[in-house]
Chains A and B, each alone.
Chain A
Amino acid sequence: MKKKKFSTFLTIVTAMALLAGCSNGSDNPQQGASSNPTQNNKQTEEVTQEAPTKISIMTRLHTAEVPSDKLEKLIEEKTNTELDIQWVPDSTYNDKVNAAFATGALPMVFNGELNTFRSAIRDDQFWEIGKYLKDFAHLSNLNENVLRNMQVDGKVYTLYAERPLARSGFIFRKDWAEKLGLDAPTNFEELYDMLYQFTYNDPDGNNKNDTIGLTDRSDMIYGAFKTVSSWHGTPNYWGEKDGQLLPEFMFPQYIETMKFFKKLHQEGIINQDFPVTSKEDQRNLMITGKAGAYIGTMPDAVGLQTELQKVNAEATLDVFNRIEGPEGFKIWMATQGGAGFLFPKSAIKTEEELLKILTFYDQLMSPEVANLITWGVEGEHYTLVDGRTKANEDQKMLDRELKPYSGAIAIGGLSTIPGLYQAKWEDPLKQKAEELVMDNVDFLIDNPVAPLESLTFNEVGARLQQMINDATFHFILGEIDEAGFQAVVDKWLADGGQKIIDEYTEAYNASN
């Protein structure tokens, strides 16, 4: 089971790395591409007179092998640097960072989680870089809101790579829906109706009652629950009510979501043991044609359809994102800035050195180098079609030469690098899924506590959250009622929850 989880985790992460560069943002990449590179060329010419800057970087490796250094050489050439990249397998990355941190062996740049290093940052172990950003042509384009989410006591210490803001949506069997005469659901009634009919109206036409509507798994965030919850209008982790910040589960919309799932569970519309279902098993229900819908990351539809069509060549999938709840269209926004590139003082001794490293990152955000690191070499890793990139079909070559760099070293993204190419997808389902991911941006729910800190939360938060998650499952499975859930919330408050609320509210009021 552990292994399964690990492999699914790897899949998610690689998928994220792949898609990191395909969110929306720039209107006219052509124009940006033509105007900026010349500017950048001048810059690189200027620097080449100096000796190359040596930069050591520790970063996550999501592929099985250490990548070839072909791209590294090109980047070094373009930026006049000498890179020393330590590739650490993703599974052991955090341990390795902790060990390096404890022994004072951190490299000059590494990707770290703010929560882990917050106290060390306060202890002046890392360079504050926020104040330098405005002096750089490209770094100054970094999104201020994202940077604000990454602040520690109002100062910025990290550079970030863009991630899509909200990728969740509804994936369903198009062929089943057509057979039953249903359109993509646009509100909760239609959603329930579709799931119900998928379960009881024999969508696969074998005259047996052997299908279910929705397949879900034990994950409350990347599974169906959080997404359905945000369609209901539940706040994203935390929300404001009467001048104080409260956790999502103290809002009535959360209870409504639990009731919705309870109904699905009681009526046999959702897989009955979803609290112990792994992602692999969840996908299998879809692939084997037993389940009709999947709520989660929309671009996953492509992989699901490929597998599904191996079993049933006639099956097709469709994706949809706009499901209207009582408060209109809503979707939770993935917390940006939980992690970023940190610059330890133990490795970077002087401000001068720091500025040189920031210059390197500034160059990484120039369209020329950004395209190189994101898409590779034109004609080799990609070709341009209508101003968009079409990736080489040799996936193994891309995995070996390109992906580790774009996933682990690049910073910024489409909305901050005008002139960065967008992807061209052959598969219409992929195209649609990616478009809907961009469409989600129009109705995001922000997480107000992302830039805030609560010491009590750092101490007991994970354990308290587990209590609530357990209670949510108990409610959905009908083992406790609303009063029982309320009792768990009261216990949450007593065990430190109230303190977390107070601390967040105080920090929130202070920052506004």
Chain B
Amino acid sequence: MSQPSTSTATLKSNSDLMKRILKNTALYFMILPGLLYFFIFKYLPMFGLVIAFQDYKPYKGFFNSEWVGFAHFERLFSESDFLMILSNTLILFLMNIVIYFPVPIILALMLNEVRLQLFKRFIQTVVYIPHFMSWVIIVSISFVMLSTDRGIINELFVAMGWEKVNFLMNSDWFRPMYIVQIIWREAGWGTIIYLAAITAVDPQLYEAARMDGAGRFRQIWHITLPAIRSVIVILLLLKIGDVLELGFEHIFLLLNAMNREVGEIFDTYVYTAGLKQGQFSYSAAIGFFKSLVGLVLIMIANWLAKRFGEEGIY
């Protein structure tokens, strides 16, 4: 990161800064609640990470538990399923980026082209709604639809003279099912920011393009997309920041004995191997490792974004 250079800069302008703070006391005062929020709920809990290096016992607390160094990390890396879990996590993450991420953009572009306002609003509402349903409901609906026992999709297959497909208990279908459910639930909601960005595009640009004889697709390609490019990059970076937050609840609901070898990710592993057995330190160590991977990925992505002349997130 660029810390050394900024720190010397702040030294020089220290007195300036104080002056500015004094001048805008009211404004800084208004930031205070936000700062406090981050300090209390985001920074203070980080001290809890020390238990990743301890043999933490609740009744002994942070201060009296025994220190064990990297023992929990060693256990994680020597776990026979470690590579399987890591690759499952990364594959699902890549699917999120490659398959899910473009969908809200395409959807927003399509919605933007709808001319009838009433129709546009209607469609918008319809695609938003799944976001407000919990994963429990979404997974349950999928179960009912995909079941081999009177599930509507399999009934349809049978009616068309095809074989039944066992979506729920086949490891090949786990990932497609996962990503389709994500798209179903989140794609509509994801369009909000893009639609907002699109409304900010100067209409004169479209007029000028039309004068030059550009069709709809040309306009999208040469005006709309470049206009929202920075928004796309920022959202992509934020998405990568969540890299390993694939949604415990969602995956946990989808997992079963038949698809665990492709569905087990760090979050579900923490649950069975750590929390369920009261191993807080081990769980914390896994969480720590996960965050570290996330941090590295976001730094790489941010660096790449800056290289391509886009604004990064820091």
Contact = CB atoms under 8 A, between A and B. Distances in A.
Interface residues of B, number: 28
Interface string B84-128: 000000000000000000000000000000000000000000000
Nearest to A290: B149
A214 to B, nearest CB: 14
Contacts of B166: 272-273
Contacts of A494: 80
Interface string B131-157: 000001001100100011100000000
B258 interface: yes
A273 B168 CA distance: 8
A466 B268 CA distance: 12
Given A273-B149, A273-B166, A276-B168, A474 B257 contact: yes
Nearest to A113: B278
B1 to A, nearest CB: 36
A470 B168 contact: no
A98 interface: yes
B175 interface: no
A273 B169 contact: yes
Given A273-B148, A273-B149, A276-B169, A1 B58 contact: no
A95 B104 CA distance: 39
A222 interface: no
B80 to A, nearest CB: 5
Interface in B256-314: 256-258, 260, 269, 272-273, 276-279
B136 A3 contact: yes
B57 interface: yes
A276 B149 CA distance: 11
Nearest to A472: B257
Contacts of B36: none
Given A1-B139, A462-B277, A477-B169, A275 B57 contact: no
Contacts of A491: 80
Q: Which of A3, A102, A463, A469 gathers the greatest number of chain B CB atoms within 10 Å? A: A463
Contact of B149 (A2, A102, A272, A466): A272
A479 to B, nearest CB: 8
A218 B256 contact: yes
A271 B273 CA distance: 30
A179 to B, nearest CB: 24
Contacts of A273: 147-149, 166, 168-169
Nearest to A120: B59
Contacts of B143: 1, 276
Contacts of A477: 169, 258
A474 B149 contact: no
20 contacts: A1-B136, A1-B140, A98-B58, A101-B59, A102-B59, A120-B57, A125-B59, A218-B257, A273-B166, A273-B169, A275-B256, A275-B257, A276-B143, A276-B169, A459-B277, A462-B273, A466-B260, A473-B257, A491-B80, A494-B80
Q: 4 closest Cβ contacts across the A-B interface?
A: A473-B257, A102-B58, A470-B257, A463-B273
Interface of B: 57-59, 61, 80, 136, 139-140, 143, 147-149, 166, 168-169, 249, 253, 256-258, 260, 269, 272-273, 276-279
Given A1-B253, A271-B149, 11 more contacts: A98-B58, A102-B58, A123-B57, A218-B256, A218-B257, A272-B149, A273-B168, A275-B256, A275-B258, A462-B273, A473-B257
